[in-house]
């Protein structure tokens, strides 16, 4: 049996959860990965209101859906980011933004991530996906010249801020899965290795594998799977396409997503360059049994068309591993 297929609700948070559940069920999804924004999963209510978690499960069960993970990308981003500015205000609840004092925002975001771990445990899921933010992403261009100690301080800042959070994840039996992504403390192969070193490879911290972010940076996502398979706690089925015509590049040119002049764009799964069959085969090789969660992003396509099409691609390409070698019969005795 192939792994379950879920739909990440982050790009559907403008709709009530029940509407998203109705759609996902009708399309044939096995479950939802619930975003901790919109009305999809409220961390505060999960911890403070009797019956809230049961109510979420009742809604999912009504449509024959399950849940393996919740996600805190928006709040997690603000734990380490520097600077904190109007971009963050746009994605944060007012209570976490507060007066906008940067360190206050970071501290409140950190407490919310801790509470998200507690809420996940109460809800009965074992993985929280999300971002971490980064003090040193702003140095990625390498100019003005970046002193090595500045980079080291960035990883130390990450470890100092996230180790207490991981302590809470460990206490409640939940794992945090960082989505390796530009603007995060881990955004490619080598920074992912450095991040694990920074937290001394604690088991409570791993990765939400998303091949689209590696592909548009011109890396092979399959190589990432084989290197970090033991730390892949969740995966996103998300797609990107490179459109390098000699006038553009992989940095996006400060153009909005969907603009044809960009050197890359997110597109609906199956319509870009991510080698998904190789990805699924590699995930089988490393023993990943979690969900394949569609994170649908495509400014040039209606999501009600894209989401069921992405599910069909998963069903077609996500192979059940063989329990026999094809050439075993060659030596069979007659």
Q: Give DSSP secondary structure letters for 274-292.
A: --HHHHHHHHHHTT--S-E
In 3D, which of 239, 206, 217, 258 has the Cα closest to residue 314? 239
- Tell me phi and psi for residue 33, to 5 degrees: -100, 110
Structural domain includes residue 154? yes
Query: Quick count: other Cβ atoms within 10 Å of Cβ 331?
Result: 6
Cα–Cα distance, 46 to 79 (Å, whole number): 21
User: What is the tens place of the pLDDT at every residue in 57-113?
Assistant: 999 999 999 999 999 999 999 999 999 999 999 999 999 999 999 999 999 999 999
Average pLDDT estimate for 136-156: 97
Domain of 108: which CATH number?
Answer: 3.20.20.150
Count of domains in the chain? Answer: 1
Quickly state the pLDDT bin for 332 (edges 50, 70, 90): low
How many of the other CB atoms lie within 10 Å of CB of 62? 12
| Whether pLDDT at 330 is above 80 | no
The shares of helix, strand and coil residues in the chain, as percent rounded to the nearest 5, are: 45, 15, 40
- What kind and span of H or E run contains 306? helix 303-317
Dihedrals φ, ψ of 211, to 5°? -70, -20
Q: Does residue 63 lie in a domain region?
A: yes
Percentage of residues in the chain with pLDDT exceeding 70?
A: 96
Spell out the long-range contacts of 97-106 with Cβ–Cβ below 8 A and sequence spacing 24 or more: 105/78, 106/78, 106/79, 106/80, 106/81, 106/161
What is the torsional sign of CA 263, 269, 272, 273? positive
Query: Average pLDDT over the chain, rounded to whole?
Result: 96
Please name the residues in contact with 119: beta carbons below 8 A apart, sequence gap of 6 or more.
Answer: 41, 43, 46, 47, 53, 70
Has residue 158 been placed in a domain? yes
Q: Mean pLDDT, to the nearest integer, of 177-206?
A: 98
Structure tokens at 21: 């559940």
CA–CA distance from 287 to each of 62, 152, 197, 262, 281 (Å)?
Answer: 31, 33, 23, 36, 10
Q: Which of 294, 79, 262, 58 is nearest to 178 (CA)?
A: 79
- pLDDT at residue 326 in the model: 65
Tell me if the pTM is above 0.85: yes
In a domain, 178, yes or no: yes
β partners of residue 209: 235
pLDDT 10s digits, 217-269? 999 999 999 999 999 999 999 999 999 999 999 999 999 999 999 999 999 99
What is the span of the domain harbouring residue 71? Answer: 5-320
Residue 261 included in any domain: yes
What interhelical angle do 276-285 and 303-317 show, nearest 10?
A: 50
- Tell me whether residue 67 is in a domain: yes
Per-residue pLDDT at 164 exceeds 60: yes
pLDDT score for 1: 47
Nearest-CA neighbor of 268 among 316, 309, 222? 309
| Average pLDDT of the residues in 143-149 | 97
Tell me the β-bridge partners of 69: 127
């Amino acid at each position: 049996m192939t792994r379950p297929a879920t739909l990440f609700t982050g790009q559907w948070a403008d709709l009530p959860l029940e509407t998203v559940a109705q759609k996902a069920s009708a399309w044939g999804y096995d479950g939802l990965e619930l975003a901790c924004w919109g009305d999809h999963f409220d961390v505060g209510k999960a911890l403070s209101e009797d019956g809230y978690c049961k109510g979420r499960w009742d809604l999912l069960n009504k449509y024959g859906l399950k849940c393996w993970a919740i996600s805190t990308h928006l709040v997690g981003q603000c734990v380490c980011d520097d600077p904190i500015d109007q971009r963050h205000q746009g994605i944060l609840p007012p209570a976490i933004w507060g007066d906008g004092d940067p360190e206050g925002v970071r501290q409140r975001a950190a407490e919310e991530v801790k509470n998200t771990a507690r809420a996940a445990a109460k809800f009965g899921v074992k993985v929280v996906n999300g971002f971490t933010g980064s003090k040193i992403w702003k140095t990625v261009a390498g100019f003005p010249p970046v002193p090595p100690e500045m980079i080291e301080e960035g990883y130390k800042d990450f470890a100092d801020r996230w180790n207490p959070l991981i302590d809470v994840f460990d206490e409640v039996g939940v794992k945090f899965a960082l989505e390796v992504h530009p603007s995060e403390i881990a955004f490619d192969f080598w920074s992912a290795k450095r991040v694990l070193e920074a937290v001394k490879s604690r088991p409570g911290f791993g990765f939400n594998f998303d091949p689209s972010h590696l592909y548009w940076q011109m890396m092979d996502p399959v190589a990432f799977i084989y290197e970090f398979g033991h730390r892949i706690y969740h995966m996103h089925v998300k797609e990107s396409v490179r459109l390098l015509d000699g006038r553009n590049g992989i940095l996006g040119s400060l153009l909005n997503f969907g603009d044809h002049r960009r050197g890359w764009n997110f597109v609906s799964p199956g319509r870009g360059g991510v080698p998904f069959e190789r990805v699924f085969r590699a995930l089988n090789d490393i023993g990943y049994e979690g969900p394949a969660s569609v994170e649908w992003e495509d400014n040039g396509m209606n999501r009600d068309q894209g989401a069921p099409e992405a599910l069909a691609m998963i069903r077609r390409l996500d192979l059940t591993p063989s329990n026999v070698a094809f050439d075993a019969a060659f030596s069979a005795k007659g």
